[in-house]
């Protein structure tokens, strides 16, 4: 805590400064003999508390308090006043002055004041930290949603920093078993710090890998920087945690909506597909993406009544579920679940129109065990309950 004592009487200044200095860390005392010197000191040092006499030449205590209130509102100002100035000092409390002390101020009154301000500052710092952690947590959640092609609520867009370019780093630990979750979160903090040198970073911890998103404040230019920071991340993680990592990245200069595609590209590279350079190879790559999506959609059409899930489809294709999820969304503008619901409800409509099966039987045949849940999905998709739909199409 940095305390500035302002008084044109050297003995008064030094007396208060000795009280502060005797406290040791984290307290530090600074001195100024008038308001002008005090302003110059505030511009150079991170002052938390100003203890100032009222009567001083040039800029007096009240003028100093007004300047501090206007330019440095986080700094608390305490007035030192004689008994004859008591009413004058008291009225200043309404002008943003934190408190006043009668001269000569006792050691106990000074200590009580200093400890009170220090406690308030600690509470404010804790609240600020908690607020930043909450904001970072929400931003990370929104980043994760963008990676998977989900829209971000308009109200949360202000959480994202201004940036010139984007880079997505996909990081996988090369171990027979994944590191414990606690270690993955420790790795997250290191990655966040290293990426944060070039802007604002958000790191997402997945089950099989970590994703570092860098909102770079400058143009990343060529891939030189990304190569450099990837190497630094690998080196530091190996030194700190003895974890060997494979890192792949993809960079761009577009907007937030580009994150999903950058993530797909990073995951593709992590999966072993080399970067393509020629137009023909780019077409081959797109055909590979299309093949994975086409196979998945074919399975949905054929196996909708069973226990097909995104995870099981990804396992059969030997790709990461998140990668497959983003790929389907980027290629079709629909998620895996939306496709599955579409096929199931479509087949349910056909059965309702063409068979005499009971609704609970149709529910089971299209893959739902809960009839109430099936009815809600059906109505959300068609605007009618299964019973209402059957009544309409069989009239």
CATH of the domain at 312: 1.10.10.60
Cα–Cα distance between 59 and 62 in angstroms, integer? 8
| Domain-ending residue, one of 220, 245, 270 | 270
Question: In this structure, are 307 and 395 located in the same domain?
Answer: yes
| Domain-ending residue, one of 270, 304, 338 | 270
CATH of the domain at 9: 3.40.50.2300
- The segment with the largest mean pLDDT, out of 94-108, 167-181, 183-197, is 183-197
303-314 pLDDT per residue, tens: 999 989 998 998
Question: In this structure, are 361 and 308 located in the same domain?
Answer: yes
Mean pLDDT of 132-148: 75
Q: Give the number of other CB atoms < 10 A from CB of residue 123.
A: 10
Residue 271 has pLDDT above 90, yes or no: no
Mean pLDDT of 251-268: 80
Handedness of CA 326, 278, 245, 195 (dihedral sign): negative
Mean pLDDT of 290-295: 82
28-66 pLDDT per residue, tens: 999 998 888 999 999 999 999 999 988 887 777 888 888
CATH of the domain at 261: 3.30.70.270
Mean pLDDT of the chain: 83
350-373 pLDDT per residue, tens: 999 999 999 999 999 999 999 999
Question: In this structure, are 110 and 191 located in the same domain?
Answer: no
Please state the domain count of the chain.
3
Residue 139 belongs to a domain: no
Q: What is the pLDDT of residue 175?
A: 65
Exposure b/e, 161-199, CB count within 10 A at least 16 = b: eebebbbbbbbbbeeeeebeeeebebbbebbbebbeebb
- pLDDT bracket for residue 274 (50, 70, 90): very low
Residue 344 has pLDDT above 90, yes or no: yes
Cα–Cα distance between 88 and 96 in angstroms, integer? 14
| Domain that residue 209 falls in | 161-270
97-132 pLDDT per residue, tens: 888 888 888 889 999 999 999 998 888 887 776 656
Question: In this structure, are 253 and 358 located in the same domain?
Answer: no
- The segment with the largest mean pLDDT, out of 113-117, 143-147, 268-272, is 113-117
Residue 146 belongs to a domain: no
């Amino acid at each position: 805590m940095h305390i500035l004592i302002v008084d044109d009487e050297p003995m008064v200044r030094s007396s208060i400064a000795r009280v502060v200095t005797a406290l040791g860390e984290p307290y530090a005392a600074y001195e100024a003999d008038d308001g002008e010197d005090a302003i110059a000191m505030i511009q150079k040092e991170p002052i938390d508390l100003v203890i100032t006499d009222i009567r001083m030449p040039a800029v007096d205590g009240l003028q100093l308090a007004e300047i501090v209130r206007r330019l440095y509102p986080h700094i608390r100002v305490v007035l030192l006043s004689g008994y004859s100035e008591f009413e004058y000092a008291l009225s200043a409390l309404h002008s943003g002055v934190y408190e006043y002390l009668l001269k000569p101020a006792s050691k106990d009154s000074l200590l009580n004041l200093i400890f009170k301000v220090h406690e308030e500052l600690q509470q404010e710092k804790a609240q600020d930290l908690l607020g930043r952690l909450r904001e970072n947590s929400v931003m990370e959640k929104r980043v994760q949603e963008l990676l998977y092609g989900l829209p971000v609520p308009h109200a949360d867009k202000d959480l994202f920093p201004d940036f010139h370019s984007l880079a997505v780093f996909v990081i996988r630990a090369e171990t027979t078993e994944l590191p414990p979750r606690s270690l993955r979160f420790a790795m997250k903090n290191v990655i966040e710090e290293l990426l944060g040198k070039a802007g604002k970073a958000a790191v997402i911890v997945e089950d099989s890998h970590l994703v570092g998103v860098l909102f770079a404040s400058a143009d990343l230019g060529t891939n030189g920087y990304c190569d450099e920071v990837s190497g630094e991340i690998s080196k530091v993680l190996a030194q700190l945690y003895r974890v060997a990592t494979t890192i792949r990245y993809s960079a761009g200069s577009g907007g937030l909506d580009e994150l999903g595609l950058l993530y797909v590209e990073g995951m593709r590279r992590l999966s072993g597909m080399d970067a393509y350079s020629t137009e023909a190879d780019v077409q081959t790559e797109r055909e590979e993406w299309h093949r994975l999506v086409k196979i998945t959609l074919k399975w949905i059409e054929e196996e909708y009544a069973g226990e097909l899930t995104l995870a099981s489809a990804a396992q059969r294709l030997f790709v990461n579920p998140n990668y497959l999820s983003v790929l389907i969304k980027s290629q079709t503008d629909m998620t895996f679940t939306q496709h599955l619901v579409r096929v199931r409800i479509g087949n349910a409509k056909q059965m309702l129109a063409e068979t005499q099966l009971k609704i609970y039987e149709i529910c089971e045949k299209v893959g739902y065990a809960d009839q109430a849940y099936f009815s809600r999905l059906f109505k959300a998709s068609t605007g009618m309950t299964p019973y209402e739909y059957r009544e309409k199409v069989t009239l």
